[in-house]
Amino acid sequence: MSRRSGGPPTVLLVHSSSGRYGADRQLALIARGLDPARYRPLVVLPEDGDLVEDLRAAGVPTRVRPLAVVRRELLSTRGMAGMAAALLSDRRELGDMIARAPIALVHSNTSVLLGGAAAARRRGVPHLWHVREIYTEFQLGWSMYQRLLGATGALACVSQATRAQFDGRLGTRARVVYDGLALPSLDALDGRATENHAMERRARARSALGLAAEGLVYVVLGRLSSWKGQEVLLRALAEPVLASRAAARPRVVVAGEAWRQAPGPRQGLSDLARELGVAEQVRFAGFVDDPGELYAAADVVMVPSTQPDPLPNAALEAAAAGCCVVASNVGGLPEILTDRRTGRLVAPGDPRALAVVLAELAEDPLQRRRLGQAAREDIRRRFGVERLLEQVQGLYDELLGGATPTAAAGTTATGSGALSARCTEATTATAPITKQPAKPSSAER
């Protein structure tokens, strides 16, 4: 185990982006929340951005250099050649960084990063791959890629659905490590607030978003992408079961931008809304700096993913905020919500099924409130930051030969005062934004 002058070992954390979306905030939680008596973080990000500023402001050593990231647009002869060159550069330069620091362990915070594993192998140090992707559109190359991922020391999968794609072939090396709640403004959304206080908070949030204080507001947030289901939502609004009921016609806020703020997806959704005759109901809010305002303003939060979504942070956060959440019954979403107990689950890609549930909820405020309250209690209990940090550090311990396997496998956190204090600090590492990491199979990572 490499140590600097007898101090705790240093972990090199590498990540594929520098924003404030779901995976970015999870990286910040881990880097800021590590027990300084056990591990010290050193973060490498591929470009300057909000995450770089947030981590440095928090005192986390952070370096910026280009990294080889697997994206759909690179899956061509020219793209693959460029990625191979970038991977060789990562192997050399990250490997040199491992030797200089020195680094005891490398943690790649997404499985679309290859350089961390290559550099760790070069220098003979353990490597942990965080798998935040489900490769549903990558079947032709999945067998080879699965073997590549399986060659590492351990995999932390963000959901059972994510782990299931390995078909049990990796045994206990593939562990489920659920994300932690990374939105500091959730604490202000207290489910015990009085009705008057809740109404005042909702009115303030709606005013800040330019929405009327009265009427139904439905919210969807995340990357603008075909697999995130914004198109399904627009089509649901036009379904007769929803469109024919004046009382059930909500205002809909679509929050988020496309990858690298490409204008095409937003324009396509806007055109579709006009074609369907629902444009007056829909507001495109773009990148929202604090989703807490969206959750406070919402009567229903929707996560209409059309393909397996590993563990959408928007669903976690909205449920923890006490919102009524309607989500697709696919990927890791059923691990977050239980239908009719803590939320509503619908068939993915089915506008009518979504419309039926939205119409029902529009006319049943008691059901919305009951589901939101139940979700808040359940999610805050199961997805605490303490649990995430204890599991991650348990995996570090195991890979470095210094801890019991049960700690890495997902036992509950210690709940100590020191750990709780670090978790509170960790949630302020990044100002919150919209949603969950994009899938490499959709070329949006």
pLDDT digits (tens, 9 = 90+) for 280-333: 999 999 888 788 899 999 999 999 999 999 999 999 999 999 999 999 999 999
pLDDT of residue 439: 41
From the list 410, 227, 199, 247, the residue with the least C-alpha distance to 305 is: 227
Query: Could you tell me how many helices (H) and strands (E) the chain has, helices first?
Result: 18, 13
Overall number of domains in the chain? 2
Locate the DSSP E strands across 205-295. Answer: 217-221, 251-255, 282-286
pLDDT at 433: 33
Q: Both 80 and 215 in a single domain?
A: no
Which residue ranges in the chain fall short of pLDDT 70?
1-5, 71-83, 184-195, 246-248, 402-445
pLDDT of residue 410: 39
Residue 345 backbone dihedrals phi, psi, to 5 degrees: -115, 135
Q: What is the pTM of this model?
A: 0.85
Strand 40-45 and strand 62-64: the pairing is parallel
**Is residue 1 one of the residues assigned to a domain?**
no
CA quadruple 402, 59, 114, 406: dihedral sign: positive
- Residue 363, in any domain of the structure: yes
Judge if 354 and 262 occupy the same domain: yes
**Residue 441, pLDDT score:** 37
The CA-to-CA distance between both ends of the chain, in Å, stands at: 32
Q: Same domain, yes or no, for 239 and 211?
A: yes
Structure tokens at 274: 């006009």
Determine, yes or no, domain membership for 401: yes
- pLDDT at position 269: 95
**pLDDT attached to residue 442:** 34
Q: Residue 69 contacts by C-beta under 8 Å, 6 or more apart in sequence? A: 16, 46, 112, 113, 445
Same domain, 160 and 195: no
Q: Are residues 365 and 250 in the same domain?
A: yes
CA distance 406 to 202: 43
Give the residue ranges of DSSP H helices in 220-336.
230-237, 240-243, 263-276, 291-297, 313-320, 333-336
Residues 40 and 163 in one domain: yes
| Residues 86 and 210 occupy one common structural domain | no
Claim to verify: residue 230 and residue 149 sit in the same structural domain: no
| Same domain membership, residue 253 and residue 365 | yes
Is residue 445 domain-resident? no
What pLDDT does residue 144 have?
Answer: 82
Residue 126 three-state SS:
coil
Say if residue 284 is in the same domain as residue 329. Answer: yes
| Domain-ending residue, one of 381, 408, 427 | 381
pLDDT at residue number 184: 64
3-class secondary-structure state, position 156: strand
Q: What is the pLDDT of residue 424?
A: 53
Same domain for 352 and 406? no
| Residues of the domain holding 118 | 10-180+384-438
pLDDT given for residue 290 in this prediction = 80
